[in-house]
Chain A
């Protein structure tokens, strides 16, 4: 039995060690050296790289951008996704077509979606500005992606478009798990559609919503590709995320020590937030199991 477990777990474990644990160890190692990216590691600097990352205004701003994206993603996508999921859960004409339309952006490759939006958002020659000017409106003077005060919100709008589909599909799946009898009972008691959603559907959708929010949070913290394509972190560092910061420091400036320190900080931030979320929010969903055990005893 032991051998069997070992046999089935070993390949996955090896791959995990090689592709997850080993890079983390290497990143920690690089982060205490000053290193240009080639040649031997010789210039040991201790925690200096960490200090310089944490004192760097660009990085602290990037951290705040990540937090902004986490908050906005949940605040916008949760009600919107829920509304669409509830709507699509009713039998209606064109249901499957609508589901597909909402889910397509999520399936589209991030890079392709990014390039398409980059072109759509071009100032003056882009489709969005053209449409706006046709109806007498105009976007920001320097373009949606070129105006520092607007760029982050433009990125958030594109992210919402891209990831709303995931929320909707998860919520729809969760809705299938709500027992039909509850609806029947409610309708016998004369509950309105609105009451049914508020008192039955949404509470029973809780575990799904909490899991989605967790995925959304971790995704927002590690956000890189969409920002990189749309703005590269600019203009004036107004859309930098922790991930774009570390890529810029590493690949563009060859400060691999600083980049590694930033990546370790990002890892710790994500880990701490994940653990806190697990402890305070997700625990409620997995509470049943231990309680049963106790009861048996």
Chain B
């Protein structure tokens, strides 16, 4: 346990060596844009972090990078494919040490606003204008004060992923459209001796998504847009969302030990339980099929048994039952990145790359020319729901930023443990929001 002076000295030595390595790398990067702008063929290295760390996504992105390098001599793209949570941790550390990758994933909302305020993210409103126009409305989540800071390449919605075989086994023929239907189905699944729903409440956000979804069903669009802007949660619909969620928890549909279940790491995670046929369904984002593939030995996930339905409606809710909770990922370019990085991001949104992206079922393309190539029937169904939605509400924790979103998620997770009331969730969120003002 004790660190000896020798070890410490060694650590300093290694630290200094690393610092030296970093700073030399940084300086060569900064020198590049000026020369390339004047048409020089000086070599440029672009660092790119993404979270498609399983095949086919990983090889596809490697190929995309190679193609761009071939078309742009002198440009080298250093690709780092990372597990999602790892990537987020490393990104935070990179921002703190002012060593961000040239191209990284940005989830929009409050997080992006913080990055922009701190001067970390490049304004690409002008340099990528043609692509922004093409993508259309989806870009809105990545704009701050009318300027665009990232290009969304996949926007999805959260709904229930289910195991068709297990639904059949429980005698369910049609997917539920209202919560009354879903409660009846939960009883049927339980009667068949199957655990109905897995939820990764250990990671908190998967649990929080239930409250978001109920808020979306209970609150009108106007109330929600106002709340995101003003950070005021006094409307009674937010309390109703909590009451709806309490009712779900009281019905005990969740997997054993859900309070400590992680979202997507390992076979006993919420996604792992669904992928291995241990539970009938899980509410998750559009990335679920990919995550499940990574969690099964045969890399197929649930395969043909993968089904999807959107969050059911609640009786008497003010929200549009077709509205969806969702969000997505966008490519952002860091402030210090060379100009070629913007070109590469534009290439990533091109018809050609988005077509391949869709064909590999890596997500839900935002370039409309690519929508038709989504071959996975479950994802294609999800895409239809997304396009038919009157609006897609960005995940609240993303929209509000990590401080408010974190406090909100914590309190919702407490409700799952039976330790918070609907009023507590609103109060905790309001308190965190007031601390930000």
Contacts of B118 in A (CB 8 A): 36, 38-39
B280-304 contacts to A (CB < 8 Å): none
Most buried by B among A126, A143, A236: A236
CB pair B417–A37 under 8 Å, yes or no, is: no
Report if A237-B202 is in contact (Cβ < 8 Å); known contacts: A11-B9, A38-B120, A143-B256. Answer: no
Complex Cα distance, B410 from A106, in Å, reads 33
Give min CB distance, A167 to chain B, whole Å: 14
Residue of B nearest to A148 (CB): B417
Q: Does A232 contact B (CB under 8 A)?
A: yes
Q: Does B119 contact A (CB under 8 A)?
A: yes
Contacts of A39 in B (CB 8 A): 117-119
Q: Does A100 contact B (CB under 8 A)?
A: no
Give min CB distance, A145 to chain B, whole Å: 4
Stretch at the interface among B88-96, B376-384, B385-393: B88-96
CB pair A235–B202 under 8 Å, yes or no, is: yes
Q: Does B229 contact A (CB under 8 A)?
A: no
CB pair B260–A234 under 8 Å, yes or no, is: yes
Complex Cα distance, B417 from A231, in Å, reads 14
Stretch at the interface among B46-54, B311-319, B324-332, B400-408: B400-408
Complex Cα distance, B200 from A146, in Å, reads 11
Contact indicator per residue, chain A 1-18, by CB within 8 Å of chain B (1) or not (0): 000000000011001101
Report if A251-B89 is in contact (Cβ < 8 Å); known contacts: A38-B120, A39-B117. Answer: yes
Most buried by B among A146, A147, A148, A219: A146
Residue of A nearest to B95 (CB): A38
Contacts of B204 in A (CB 8 A): 234
CB pair B9–A251 under 8 Å, yes or no, is: no
Contacts of A151 in B (CB 8 A): 260
CB pair A52–B258 under 8 Å, yes or no, is: no
Given A37, A58, A146, A232, which contacts B257 in the complex, CB threshold below 8 Å?
Answer: A146
Q: Does B213 contact A (CB under 8 A)?
A: no
Given B256, B260, B407, which contacts A253 in the complex, CB threshold below 8 Å?
Answer: B407
Q: Chain A at the B interface: mostly helix, strand, loop or mixed?
A: loop
Give min CB distance, A144 to chain B, whole Å: 8
Given A18, A122, A234, which contacts B259 in the complex, CB threshold below 8 Å?
Answer: A234
Contacts of B96 in A (CB 8 A): 37-38
Q: Does A114 contact B (CB under 8 A)?
A: no
Contact indicator per residue, chain B 1-32, by CB within 8 Å of chain A (1) or not (0): 10001001101100000000000000000000
Give min CB distance, A59 to chain B, whole Å: 13
Q: Does A141 contact B (CB under 8 A)?
A: yes
Report if A235-B260 is in contact (Cβ < 8 Å); known contacts: A11-B9, A15-B5, A15-B12. Answer: yes
CB pair B8–A141 under 8 Å, yes or no, is: no
Contacts of A12 in B (CB 8 A): 5, 8
Count contacts on A: residues with CB < 8 A to the other chain.
Answer: 39
CB pair A142–B259 under 8 Å, yes or no, is: yes
Count contacts on B: residues with CB < 8 A to the other chain.
Answer: 40
Complex Cα distance, B5 from A11, in Å, reads 8
Most buried by B among A19, A141, A235: A235
Contact indicator per residue, chain B 67-98, by CB within 8 Å of chain A (1) or not (0): 00000000000000000000001001001101
CB pair B256–A141 under 8 Å, yes or no, is: yes
Complex Cα distance, B9 from A18, in Å, reads 11
CB pair B403–A251 under 8 Å, yes or no, is: no
Give min CB distance, A228 to chain B, whole Å: 12
Contact indicator per residue, chain B 405-417, by CB within 8 Å of chain A (1) or not (0): 0110010011001
Report if A125-B268 is in contact (Cβ < 8 Å); known contacts: A15-B8, A15-B12, A52-B435. Answer: yes
Q: Does A89 contact B (CB under 8 A)?
A: no
Contact indicator per residue, chain A 140-161, by CB within 8 Å of chain B (1) or not (0): 0111011110010000000000
Complex Cα distance, B256 from A123, in Å, reads 6
Give min CB distance, B325 to chain A, whole Å: 21
Q: Does B320 contact A (CB under 8 A)?
A: no
Q: Does B261 contact A (CB under 8 A)?
A: yes
CB pair B259–A148 under 8 Å, yes or no, is: yes
Give min CB distance, B305 to chain A, whole Å: 20
Contacts of A36 in B (CB 8 A): 114, 118
Contacts of B117 in A (CB 8 A): 39
CB pair B259–A253 under 8 Å, yes or no, is: no
Contacts of B257 in A (CB 8 A): 122-124, 142-143, 145-146
Most buried by A among B118, B120, B201, B403: B403
Residue of A nearest to B3 (CB): A19
CB pair A146–B403 under 8 Å, yes or no, is: no
Give min CB distance, A88 to chain B, whole Å: 22
B179-229 contacts to A (CB < 8 Å): 201-204
Complex Cα distance, B406 from A251, in Å, reads 11
Q: Does A255 contact B (CB under 8 A)?
A: yes
Q: Does B247 contact A (CB under 8 A)?
A: no
CB pair B258–A236 under 8 Å, yes or no, is: no
CB pair A142–B413 under 8 Å, yes or no, is: no
Q: Does A252 contact B (CB under 8 A)?
A: yes
Contacts of A147 in B (CB 8 A): 259
Contacts of B406 in A (CB 8 A): 248, 252-253
Contacts of B114 in A (CB 8 A): 36, 254
CB pair B256–A142 under 8 Å, yes or no, is: yes
Complex Cα distance, B402 from A255, in Å, reads 9
Given A37, A58, A255, which contacts B92 in the complex, CB threshold below 8 Å?
Answer: A37
Complex Cα distance, B202 from A295, in Å, reads 63
Complex Cα distance, B402 from A148, in Å, reads 25
Contacts of B278 in A (CB 8 A): 125
Given B9, B402, B414, which contacts A15 in the complex, CB threshold below 8 Å?
Answer: B9
Complex Cα distance, B202 from A217, in Å, reads 28
Given A19, A124, A148, which contacts B8 in the complex, CB threshold below 8 Å?
Answer: A19
Report if A236-B419 is in contact (Cβ < 8 Å); known contacts: A15-B8, A253-B406. Answer: yes
Report if A148-B256 is in contact (Cβ < 8 Å); known contacts: A38-B95, A232-B202, A235-B202. Answer: no
Q: List 17 A-B contacts (CB under 8 A).
A: A16-B8, A19-B11, A37-B96, A52-B435, A142-B259, A146-B202, A146-B256, A146-B260, A146-B261, A232-B202, A235-B202, A235-B259, A235-B260, A235-B413, A236-B413, A248-B406, A255-B403
Other A-B contacts than A38-B98, A126-B268, A142-B259, 15 sampled, CB-CB below 8 A, are A11-B5, A15-B8, A19-B12, A124-B256, A125-B278, A142-B260, A143-B259, A146-B202, A146-B258, A234-B202, A236-B413, A236-B418, A251-B92, A252-B402, A252-B406
Nearest first, the 10 A-B pairs at minimum CB distance are A143-B257, A123-B257, A235-B259, A236-B417, A146-B257, A39-B118, A146-B260, A253-B406, A15-B8, A146-B259
